Amino acid sequence: MNDPKFFAILLALICASFSIQINANQQLDSLKVISSAGAPFLTLKMLDQAQPGIDEDLYEWILWEQERYQILNEWKQWNVLLVRIEGLPKDLPQQFLQQAATYQIRAYIALGQNRTARKLLRKQLWSVDAASSSEYKSWRQLVIETYLNERLIDDARVSMLRFQQDFEAQDTDWILLRARVLMQTERYEETIALLSSRLDWQSLFMKLLAEFRNHQHDAQTLWDLAKKRIDSIKDDPEQLASYWSIAAIAAQSISPEKEVIALEARLGLDATDKINLYKIDADQLWQAYFSYAELVGNRSELLVGDDQSWLDLARNALKNSPVKARSLLAYLMIESKQVEIRQQAAVLFLKTLDLQQESKKILFDQLFNQSKQFADAQSIPVEIRFQLVDLALKQANIIEATRLMSGLDSIPQDAREFDWILRQARVLLLGGKLKQGDQKLDELITRYAEPNKQDTDHVLQILFDLQTLKADELAIRHFRQLMNLAIEPIQRREILFWMADSFKALKQYERAALLYLQSAMFSGAESMDPWAQTARFSAAESLQKAGLVDDARRVYQSLLDITKEPARRSVLRHNIQQLWLTQSVE
């Protein structure tokens, strides 16, 4: 759920629960649950409010700070993590600073900045008390990892031998790192021997690849073994990614079609291959598309340059062979000399992808945002950019949406003008360009001659964005524009409520209360359905803030008269009591 109003309410409720005096461990456990539920940014907001000051209680502050690093690391917020750690005071306990340094180094490695990571590692390893640190072994292993990432194989091998001389480590992470070094130095038999007695999936996976490299399996056998394993895996993206990578390696020697299938599956997974023995990226998939398209074209005896025939062949393949169609269309999008053909190919390419599926969204992003084929947004077909903007907005990635929208003035083929202006307005507003976004929004509503529920809901989403941006005066103006149109009655009722929210934000409490009550009584003066009850409650709060205490008490009492649920009755009684107390004090 991406409703900002929902998250605001949730944040208030949980923060209220934190006002109860419970210990830090219980609070941290609560935060971990929220983060694991998929709300890391809400968790971080909570953490900001609950974490004690560094001068107030250093031990408690460190506990909270460690949890912050864990959340940022888990959700790959590398830049935020780096800014936080690099701003730490230097007089903190040494053990904590060393742990923070490890998080910092891992973040740089994740960002591909291996030299920077190695520079920081040297600083840690050369410090006076480095050998006594609990992080020492991790730092030594991370040095090897940076060498492997940069394909500095000899340096990695020497560092590995030195580590083996200094330690008798047998933990899984070290065994896998040793195996990576052996694989990179083409010591496949040693790799197989090292992993032969191990049953964890990473070891089995690396052993299978080593056996292939050692010519113990042919490509078809490797494909079959990888596919058998893939079919048995459930809910383990990292393992799936690793085995699809093996399948892609095998497919290079089998057929372009299988290579496309494997690469699409691998790039449709939002998972990091921690073993990192090979690089698989979107450019490899583009090349596989071209190879498969050329194979299909040759088999069909199509001439290079006869783009219409290639397009017809792709159309015919859309239903029964989407992989073949996608490959032909990818080829035409890049290679065709005719603008019209490239545009049609882009539209049809989109039709081969079901962007309701999460894996297809990830694949789509990889193909057009993470590929050298489209180094800048201007080179992406207009029809494709339109969809990429939409996805970026749904993911609240405003920077990316702005980048993709920049210079995009023409309406994509088959797109409605309404949808086009809607996205332009939203990108401008969320990108901080309120004046230009407001102009687009005004243009949109002015042209909105035949309202329907779905389109009106889309406009309302942008007005909620304005409220989130605290541009409530603009929101109110556009709410009024919508109220002058022939919109659905239920939406009129909702707009009265949202307008009231904006007046409340502007501290115009009497006007807010009036609109809340109009919303509550929209379907009848005596209406007490759930919406009406919520609106009446909000009206009572606004009446109280406006100083109209008797009116507020009467509205609360009307709700208490019809409310049966004990918890809600308790809240209403509490609010009425507070009004009595306020009045008696005055």
Question: pLDDT tens across 103-157, in order?
Answer: 999 999 999 999 999 999 999 999 988 999 999 999 999 999 999 999 999 999 9
Query: Which carries the bigger pLDDT value, residue 188 or residue 424?
Result: 188
Question: Could you tell me what percent of the chain has a pLDDT over 70?
Answer: 91
- pLDDT at residue 282 above 80? yes
pLDDT tens figures, 47-102 = 888 888 888 889 889 988 998 999 899 888 999 999 999 999 989 999 999 999 99
Q: What are phi and psi of 407, to 5 degrees?
A: 75, 5
Query: Which carries the bigger pLDDT value, residue 47 or residue 237?
Result: 237
> Can you say how many angstroms the Cα of residue 104 is from the centroid of all Cα atoms in its chain?
22
Mean pLDDT of 374-390: 84
Q: How far apart are CA 17 and CA 9, in angstroms?
A: 13
Query: Which carries the bigger pLDDT value, residue 51 or residue 503?
Result: 503
Structure confidence at residue 37 (pLDDT):
63
For 471, residues 6+ apart whose C-beta sits below 8 A from its C-beta are: 429, 434, 438
Mean pLDDT of 9-21: 44
* pLDDT interval class at 574 (50, 70, 90): confident
pLDDT tens figures, 304-313 = 889 999 999 9
- On whether the CB atoms of residues 421 and 389 are closer than 8 A, the answer is no
- On whether the CB atoms of residues 267 and 282 are closer than 8 A, the answer is yes
Q: What is the pTM of this model?
A: 0.72
- On whether the CB atoms of residues 288 and 260 are closer than 8 A, the answer is yes
Question: Could you tell me what percent of the chain has a pLDDT over 90?
Answer: 56
Mean pLDDT of 40-48: 79
pLDDT tens figures, 168-190 = 888 888 999 999 999 999 999 99
Structure confidence at residue 18 (pLDDT):
45
Cβ-count burial of 494 within 10 angstroms (0-12 exposed, 13-18 middle, 19+ buried)? buried
Mean pLDDT of 18-44: 64
Q: How many CB atoms lie under 10 A from the CB of residue 323?
A: 17
Q: How far apart are CA 181 and CA 145, in angstroms?
A: 9
Mean pLDDT of 498-523: 93
Q: What are phi and psi of 359, to 5 degrees?
A: -65, -35
- On whether the CB atoms of residues 71 and 44 are closer than 8 A, the answer is yes
Structure confidence at residue 49 (pLDDT):
81
- pLDDT at residue 284 above 80? yes
- How is 279-304 classified by DSSP, letter by letter? ---HHHHHHHHHHHHHHHHHHTTPPT
Mean pLDDT of 405-428: 78
- Most confident range (mean pLDDT) of 52-61, 110-119, 403-412, 449-458 is 110-119
- On whether the CB atoms of residues 124 and 88 are closer than 8 A, the answer is no
- pLDDT at residue 201 above 60? yes
* pLDDT interval class at 582 (50, 70, 90): low
Structure confidence at residue 6 (pLDDT):
44
Structure confidence at residue 275 (pLDDT):
66
* 88-94 contact pairs (CB < 8 A, 24+): 89/54, 92/58, 92/62, 93/58, 93/62, 94/129
Helix or strand holding residue 162 (H, E): helix 153-166
Question: What integer best gives the mean pLDDT of the chain?
Answer: 87
- pLDDT at residue 1 above 50? no
CA Rg, the chain, in Å? 30
- On whether the CB atoms of residues 372 and 283 are closer than 8 A, the answer is yes
Mean pLDDT of 285-294: 96
Sequence ranges of the domains in the chain:
177-276, 281-415
- pLDDT at residue 19 above 50? no
Among the listed residues 498, 500, 506, 425, the one whose alpha carbon sits nearest the alpha carbon of residue 473: 506
What's the length of the chain? 586
Give the residue carrying structure tokens 């939409």. 390
Query: Which carries the bigger pLDDT value, residue 381 or residue 296?
Result: 296
- pLDDT at residue 501 above 90? yes
Cβ-count burial of 96 within 10 angstroms (0-12 exposed, 13-18 middle, 19+ buried)? middle
Among the listed residues 481, 479, 477, 555, the one whose alpha carbon sits nearest the alpha carbon of residue 513: 555
Kindly list the distances between the CA atom of residue 105 and the CA atoms of 88, 142, 496, 573, in Å, as whole numbers in the listed order.
15, 8, 52, 55
